[in-house]
Structure 1
């Protein structure tokens, strides 16, 4: 499968790095190392999907957007037949969008979900697929530790669930030899701080930026704790959310990390032998701030909703409780939000309603 990946990305750019000790410029991938772990940050548009292949094992973290088949198609092209663990970090349709199809078309041993329920058809289809296939189901919690081959998985979050779907994303640190990877789904700044306060060692060479590079994630404190050498975000080109946000890119770059994004670099592959790593992109490009920024009130977290002037914590929780909304004007159904507030919200050109 590695040969397939290398052929696909032959025209891409490569950077080989050893932790704290970069490989000499001009040294080839073959001379640098013989990779035994390949991590594919798959370009699935405005969504998330990451495939890890190592020592005959395969782990999938999230499964793309429900409106596309990009995750499924990529797995087939890569020659994947079986998946040991398929993780849905949270029930949003841009993270578990193709998970039901994957469970149906591939041999999936185990599915991990945080346990927060959703009424969406996408989520219900996943539960039905798990039941129909007989796939094992597990809800990981902070402090859980698993060994899959030579891979160690430390679950960082959540410790428990309260119904906050985005914020309580399954967050993990994956260790392969001397190389660590951190994934946090759509967990926010508050949840990142709880991970820090737990006392867990969060340091990792590779950080997958939370919430597609949104400013609701990736605090300065979290960046300091992880201290990544490479940061990767997953976002669709010209997405309507403005991902990645400028302040996140600035903070990551100022920390000294190299930044890559699926919107400009396409699928991004990290290869490692457990001591050094390569970053391989399908195309060159420099991550820049997203445009057309929009906060979708039907999927936004409480933190995101509070970025809309006039929406405080109480209103944000009511929006989440009463959604989906068909139009911004429907916000006047919430007690305390009148027509004047709705008009003020509309004038900001920040809130939107999308499927």
Structure 2
């Protein structure tokens, strides 16, 4: 998607580092956020620092966005587009394609590599835009390998940072790639081929990873889909109070259909004809929650889910759309034998070997706490534990061994939602 533009250089001596720093990977240059790696500063957004030079980036066909949200991109003729909500079990990933453009929203869980079978099945060789809604492992889990193995033109992230190995790998992969990087915000509009992306949230970050989820419309002709990642009620209220036009033909349910999202007031503003969620069959979180399913039924919104329907594909053409599901359409069924046997003219992508990251077995990393042997002082530093629960864990260890994140729900005050967040944080191992 490279375009033409003027590249100018400014002597690095005129640059200076602000006193503020964010974690170890980021620094601030003036008001611009930058990656720092081995003494090399790489700017995000519209300026890049490469070695000792500041450069204005080459303009790409993503289109520059203006302050009033108008995209400076030419109108592109449309044909047929496929919005494919991939069955990646308890994770999230959507593949959006027309004849000329490929967009991917999220990449599934770090400990489930089925997305690489989907990549081969749908003949994905390059990605024009990879959108990672927020840095939890069930959304960015395979992004590092996708960036490393495919030609990814541009990566979007919320800008929220995380301490997990999964997040660190994604940042490293982005730094080591030729991909551009952007942190889009409310009011910005981008043209990506024949698609238009209208950013709805966030306006700014609070540090809450769910509330910072990138939320946006993707338009194709007069058809549009609304994505909100794992944004919860507070974010929905912000979007409503901002007076945004939220209407969508199809709505991907927030947070896998959790009752922490998908409020009645928000759905009334979105007015979708169809809702689609991504969740594993019989998942331990109970997604989608019964009250959300009932709400969609009461509002006469047709509901599809990957746990019930497998991969779900919405085909948009000239403002109209049809829906096909894996349970009804053999062409959507993931046939790994047929994809692997027809690879003479097609690249083959390797699923990452993540055995060392299975958190219910194996040794701990230097950054993790071994919950079955850690001291009181180590335990109380774990997110959601603190002093009282650290004492309780010491007592419980005399009666049981913690084997996985689900077993943490035996701790008073740790329910599925908190266990889910603790799993995302990757602070614990169970060796």
User: Does the 8 Å contact 1:230/1:257 carry over to 2?
Assistant: yes
2:277 to 230, 233, 237: 233
Q: Distance in 1 between matches of 2:193 and 2:230?
A: 27
Greater Rg by CA: 2
Which residue of 2 is the match for residue 334 of structure 1? 386
Q: What is the aligned-residue RMSD (CA, Å)?
A: 2.7
TM-score (norm 1): 0.74
User: Does the 8 Å contact 1:157/1:172 carry over to 2?
Assistant: yes
Which residue of 2 is the match for residue 14 of structure 1? none
User: Does the 8 Å contact 2:83/2:96 carry over to 1?
Assistant: yes
Q: Distance in 2 between matches of 1:282 and 1:265?
A: 6
Which residue of 1 is the match for residue 173 of structure 2? 129
Q: Distance in 2 between matches of 1:271 and 1:240?
A: 31
**Cα drift, residue 35 of structure 1:** 6.3
Which residue of 1 is the match for residue 264 of structure 2? 220
Q: Distance in 1 between matches of 2:385 and 2:156?
A: 36
**Cα drift, residue 271 of structure 1:** 0.1
Alpha-carbon spacing, 1:253–1:66, altered in 2? closer, same or farther (3 Å): same
1:154 to 182, 198, 204: 198
Q: Distance in 1 between matches of 2:94 and 2:150?
A: 16
Count the aligned residue pairs. 285
Q: Distance in 1 between matches of 2:117 and 2:162?
A: 26
- 1:80-117 Cα offsets, whole Å, 9 max, x none, are 11111001100001000010111111110000000111
Higher RCO structure, 1 or 2 (CA under 8 Å, sep 6+): 1
Alpha-carbon spacing, 1:333–1:46, altered in 2? closer, same or farther (3 Å): closer
2:162 to 118, 136, 157: 118
User: Does the 8 Å contact 2:389/2:411 carry over to 1?
Assistant: no
Q: Distance in 1 between matches of 2:274 and 2:385?
A: 45
The 5-angstrom pairing of residues 127-206 of structure 1 reads 127-206=171-250
**Cα drift, residue 169 of structure 1:** 0.4
**Cα drift, residue 325 of structure 1:** 8.3
Q: Which runs of 5+ in 2 are unaligned?
A: 1-77, 329-367, 397-408, 427-431
Alpha-carbon spacing, 1:228–1:69, altered in 2? closer, same or farther (3 Å): same
Alpha-carbon spacing, 1:174–1:333, altered in 2? closer, same or farther (3 Å): closer
Alpha-carbon spacing, 1:262–1:219, altered in 2? closer, same or farther (3 Å): same
**Cα drift, residue 338 of structure 1:** 8.0
State yes or no: 1:267 paired with 2:332: no
**Cα drift, residue 70 of structure 1:** 1.4
**Cα drift, residue 133 of structure 1:** 1.2
Alpha-carbon spacing, 1:138–1:347, altered in 2? closer, same or farther (3 Å): closer
- 1:310-347 Cα offsets, whole Å, 9 max, x none, are xxxxxxxxxxxxx97837x9569525668579999746
Q: Distance in 2 between matches of 1:119 and 1:347?
A: 25
